[in-house]
Amino acid sequence: MLAIAAPNYLPNPQVEAISLPHHFSTLLKIPWVRTHMFHHGCELFKLETYRKMQSTLMNGGGGQIKNTIHDSIPFIRRESQENSVTGQQLQQFLNLMAQEIRVATLSAGQPMTTFNQKLPLYRWIFISISYISSVDIGLDVRFFVDRLLQIYIDANSQRVNLIPRIITDPIEFEVLEMLRDYIDCVKVNYEQLFGTTKRTIVMTPTLREPIDLPSLPPIHDKNLLIRGLMHRETYRALLRSHHPFGNRLLELGYGLDPRNYNVLKFEFSFFDGMGDFFLAHEASVLLYELYDKSRLSEMRCHLYHMLRLILGTNTLLAKLAFAYGLHQGILDDELNGVIRKEYIPTYGSMSSKQNDDERVYQEEFLGDYFEAYVGALFWEQPKVAAEFVRAIYHNVLEAITKQLPPDISYSHWTWNVIGRSLVDKRTYN
């Protein structure tokens, strides 16, 4: 196993004197690469965990799954600093990964070396997950993600419920059957989504040169396609008395109070979370690949954090969703009328002035559309989704770095790139 100087369960334990593959050790000597591998490992863990928890959707929707995942990494950090049962399990887990990496590396005839820089235990865990996923040494990263997730679940079994809820309410059965019929019958605006119209976005008046976008890849399974085009909040539009769905509920003697139909909200709440985690993962991967190919040779930790944040902001994602017309992808006049009038009444209107609250809400609403579509595309066609997202991010980064020098202040960058200031959230540090 990795040669760890001594098992250490003191506050903020530092793991040192670790035997690593030589090329891995060389990479980790670059500060921002260490930062990248840590964040990449975190994002990969979240993405794979979210996908694994899909069966629990009816327990509380995608939002509850996301809350569980967002709690897991701070928990791992805290427990890795304690002399607890979980802390010791995390140490043993790192030892397991280290042993597997060592055996696989030596079997491939690659040299090992000693890395002497101290890093906290929890950072080594996620850096190792990143490494396993990034090299072809015959190890399956999902095995290690599952083991780490199980440590978290075992320690939080009182509040983390992974047993899928069985639907027994006859009303919920009826509503889900109606939803299947709606998905089968509703038409898709294929021309809007997949036509030959050139797609571009403009970031801000400062960055006003249009950025070309690739064509939107089609999702072939109609069930997935509709779920990728339906916002989790717009199920409320189906519950209007003027909508055939809501009218049918009234005919059956049911009311139209949205609070009684969480089963619908849950059904449409999964893919935006999947897309959220997938986009964060792809942003990290692309930034490293561009650096590795000398396209971002001046990369530093500060610039890396800033670009990751910009690529994931709702301001950008909303522009992408609007450019592709994702919010108009379903040919349902009642649904589209509600979206336009109640959710994004001023978005895209040059003559309308938005206050900050309106802008934030409308960008978040539209941003969820892009996340949901990408999440559904990733579910069906992972490689196509990765190529699509990386093409967009590559073009956006090219425009940013071409038009703005990298040495100006963070505040200046964010104002010029997306038109507002961003908080530099360096999570999990």
Same domain, 381 and 413: yes
Angle (CA) 360 395 294, round 5°: 120
Same domain, 261 and 409: yes
CATH at residue 268: 1.10.1520.10
Total domain count, the chain:
2
Q: Domain boundary at 156, 185, 218, which?
A: 156
pLDDT of residue 2: 39
Same domain, 279 and 337: yes
Lookup: tokens for 379? 């579910």
Same domain, 79 and 220: no
Q: Tell me the residue ranges of DSSP E strands in 307-424.
A: 330-331
Cβ atoms of residues 246 and 224 within 8 Å: no
Count of C-beta atoms within a 10 Å radius of residue 39: 25
Same domain, 208 and 328: yes
Q: Where are the alpha helices (DSSP H) in 156-194?
A: 170-185, 190-194
Give the residue numbers spanning the domain of 276.
Answer: 170-418
Residues (pLDDT < 70) of the chain are 1-17, 292-301, 350-354, 403-429
Q: pLDDT tens digits for 13-57?
A: 566 567 788 888 888 888 888 888 999 999 999 999 999 999 888
424 located within any domain: no
Cα separation, 257 vs 264, in Å, equals 12
Q: Domain boundary at 110, 130, 156, which?
A: 156
Same domain, 347 and 312: yes
pLDDT of residue 297: 53
Same domain, 148 and 175: no
* DSSP 8-state class, residue 209: S
pLDDT of residue 187: 97
Q: What are phi and psi of 147, to 5 degrees?
A: -65, -45
Residue written as tokens 């709702």? 314
pLDDT of residue 427: 47
57 located within any domain: yes
55 located within any domain: yes
pLDDT of residue 350: 54
Same domain, 149 and 282: no
Same domain, 322 and 371: yes
The single-letter code of the amino acid at 96 is L
Same domain, 113 and 182: no
Same domain, 176 and 272: yes
- Please tell me the pTM assigned to this model: 0.89
Cα separation, 173 vs 14, in Å, equals 53
Same domain, 109 and 178: no
Residue written as tokens 């899928």? 164
- The DSSP annotation for 248-262 comes to HHHHTT----GGG-H
Q: Domain boundary at 99, 127, 156, which?
A: 156
Cβ atoms of residues 189 and 329 within 8 Å: yes
The single-letter code of the amino acid at 257 is D
9 located within any domain: no
3 located within any domain: no
